[in-house]
């Protein structure tokens, strides 16, 4: 062995392992591209991560038939293994479902560093989680690939299964989240979707696009930041202008107009995620030095907003022809986990797996911080966001849980919505 040469051995630390994999994978693919250009070589590279995620590179001269075989070579037995239930999913929201749209913004709300993504095949992508977000699992259940971030889409091919426009710190109101500097509010996310529509329409006929968009799922998760990073912030004057009831009315008025804008752009199948518990997150527990959830915050802020949101869904279903809106009661789904942690295999409900200070909630997860090793036993990943295990549980309940006014979905669940065939005929919906 040459002097100074480091012996090759497996990296045991999971954070270091993920960092090394991402860096070395990127360098390998870059060098392969350079070799192809410099030496006019035909190159094909196939890499599977430890989670079964496929990475590939093929130059123009590489045999195309080999790429066609890739889905059958996957360690998981051949791709997603599900039939696509809808053409695409378009996602709007905040950090709970952002998958990288803030990465290149001058924003304080970012998660594109380890240990975020420690259990995700691509490592730190901008997801505020150790692994999957709720919409990642919903995409999987719908038979779709993971939906790309709007900031990462450059061609029509990347848009075919949908786009994620969600942005950390974003809210229903444009002023929400300004403490974090740059972010993409819901209004701008809608404008970004309109730009996507124009791009798709440039490659396909308008009629084809309209049919595809009308049968796609539109997932919207908004509202949390309008409270956490607006109403509850001491440097905002919102509380002096509105009492909780007035503020929830204001949010619903804006929200209804924004959803109608999406409807006017062709959206027909809407999934609206209610606001989850704010009183249980480690950040609130740490600020108020509480040992249990703040009932006051949830009862005075979350419950009124969610109740009005559910009524809004009923009004929109009645007033907008050939559309179907469904409300996901994220609060009750989440509180069932908090109140019955042992049923789901959780031991820690009041502290983040990664973070600083009381409840690991005074500061969020810092770069290269070592998180807890038993992540599947934690409800919270950091000061604000659930672990991937919770996200997957919530997605599965929202997807196939009982509709009809129950504690999960109203009036139908996501699976039922995906199967619904919406036809406008005499202003009625036919299934």
Tell me the per-residue pLDDT of 115-131, one tens digit each, with 9 for 90 and over. 999 999 999 999 999 99
d(CA 360, CA 383): 6
Say how many residues make up the chain: 431
Q: Kindly give, in sequence order, each residue whose CB lies less than 8 Å from that of residue 185, ignoring residues fewer than 6 positions away.
A: 167, 170, 171, 172, 173, 174, 176, 177
pLDDT tier at 47 (50, 70, 90 boundaries)? confident
pLDDT score for 426: 37
d(CA 398, CA 413): 6
Q: What percent of the chain has pLDDT over 70?
A: 84
pLDDT score for 72: 42
**Mean local confidence (pLDDT), 62-75:** 45
Q: What is the mean pLDDT of the chain?
A: 88
Please report which helix (H) or strand (E) contains residue 47, including its range.
strand 44-48
Query: Per residue in 244-256, pLDDT tens?
Result: 999 999 999 999 9
Tokens read off for 173? 């109101």
Residue labelled with tokens 């699976």: 415
pLDDT score for 276: 98
Nearest to 422 by CA among 206, 207, 214: 214
d(CA 143, CA 141): 5
Which region among 31-40, 215-224, 389-398 has the lowest average model confidence (pLDDT)?
A: 31-40
DSSP 151: G
**345 CA to centre of own chain:** 23
Nearest to 282 by CA among 269, 273, 291, 274: 291
Query: Per residue in 326-348, pLDDT tens?
Result: 999 999 999 999 999 999 999 99
Ordered domains of the chain (ranges, CATH): 14-73 (3.40.1810.10), 89-429 (3.40.50.1110)
pLDDT score for 78: 37
Tokens read off for 255? 């929200």
Q: Are strands 424-425 and 428-429 parallel, antiparallel or unpaired?
A: antiparallel
Residue with the bigger pLDDT between 54 and 259: it is 259
Q: Quick one: angle between helices 244-264 and 303-319, nearest 10? A: 30
Strand ranges, E, within 114-210:
none
**Mean local confidence (pLDDT), 403-424:** 82
Contact 43, 30 (CB under 8 A): no
Q: Is 360 left (phi over 0), alpha (psi -120 to 50) or beta?
A: left
Please report which helix (H) or strand (E) contains residue 359, including its range.
none
Helix (H, G, I), strand (E, B) or coil at 210: helix
Catalytic residues: 95, 382, 385
DSSP 146: P
pLDDT tier at 9 (50, 70, 90 boundaries)? confident
Q: Which residues of 349-361 are buried (b: 16+ CB within 10 A; e: fewer)?
A: bbbbbbbbebbbb
């Amino acid at each position: 062995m040459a002097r100074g040469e480091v012996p090759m051995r497996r990296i045991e630390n999971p954070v270091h392992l993920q960092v090394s994999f991402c860096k070395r994978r990127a360098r390998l693919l870059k060098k392969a591209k350079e070799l192809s250009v410099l030496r006019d070589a035909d190159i094909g590279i196939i890499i599977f991560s430890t989670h079964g995620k496929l990475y590939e590179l093929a130059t123009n001269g590489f045999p195309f038939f080999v790429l066609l075989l890739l889905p059958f070579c996957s360690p998981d037995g051949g791709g997603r293994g599900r039939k696509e239930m809808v053409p695409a999913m378009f996602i709007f929201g905040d950090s709970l479902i952002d998958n990288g749209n803030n990465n290149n913004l001058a924003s304080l709300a970012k998660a594109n560093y380890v240990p975020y993504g420690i259990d995700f095949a691509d490592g730190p992508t901008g997801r505020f989680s150790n692994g999957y977000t709720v919409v990642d699992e919903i995409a999987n259940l719908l038979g779709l690939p993971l939906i790309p971030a709007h900031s990462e889409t450059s061609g029509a091919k990347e848009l075919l299964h949908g786009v994620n426009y969600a942005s950390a710190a974003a809210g229903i109101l444009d002023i929400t989240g300004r403490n974090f500097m740059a972010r993409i509010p819901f209004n701008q996310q809608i404008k970004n979707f309109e730009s996507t529509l124009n791009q798709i329409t440039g490659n396909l006929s308008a009629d084809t696009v309209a049919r595809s968009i009308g049968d796609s799922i539109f997932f919207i998760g908004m509202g949390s930041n309008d409270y956490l990073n607006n109403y509850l912030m001491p440097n905002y004057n919102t509380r002096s202008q509105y009492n909780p009831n007035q503020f929830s009315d204001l949010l619903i008025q804006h929200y209804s107009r924004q959803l109608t804008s999406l409807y006017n752009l062709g959206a027909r199948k809407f999934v609206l995620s209610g606001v989850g518990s704010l009183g249980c997150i480690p950040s609130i527990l740490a600020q108020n030095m509480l040992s249990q959830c703040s009932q006051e915050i949830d009862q005075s802020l979350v419950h009124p907003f969610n109740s009005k949101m559910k009524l809004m869904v009923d009004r929109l279903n009645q007033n907008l022809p050939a559309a179907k809106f469904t409300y996901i009661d994220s609060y009750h789904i989440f509180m069932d986990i908090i109140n019955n942690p042992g049923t789901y295999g959780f031991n820690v409900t009041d502290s983040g797996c990664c973070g600083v200070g009381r409840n690991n909630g005074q500061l969020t997860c810092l770069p290269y911080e070592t998180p807890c090793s038993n992540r599947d036993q934690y409800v919270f990943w950091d000061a604000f966001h659930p672990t991937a295990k919770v996200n997957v549980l919530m997605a599965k309940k929202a997807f196939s849980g009982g509709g009809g006014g129950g504690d999960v979905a109203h009036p139908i669940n996501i699976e039922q919505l995906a199967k619904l065939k919406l036809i406008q005929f005499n202003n009625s919906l036919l299934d």
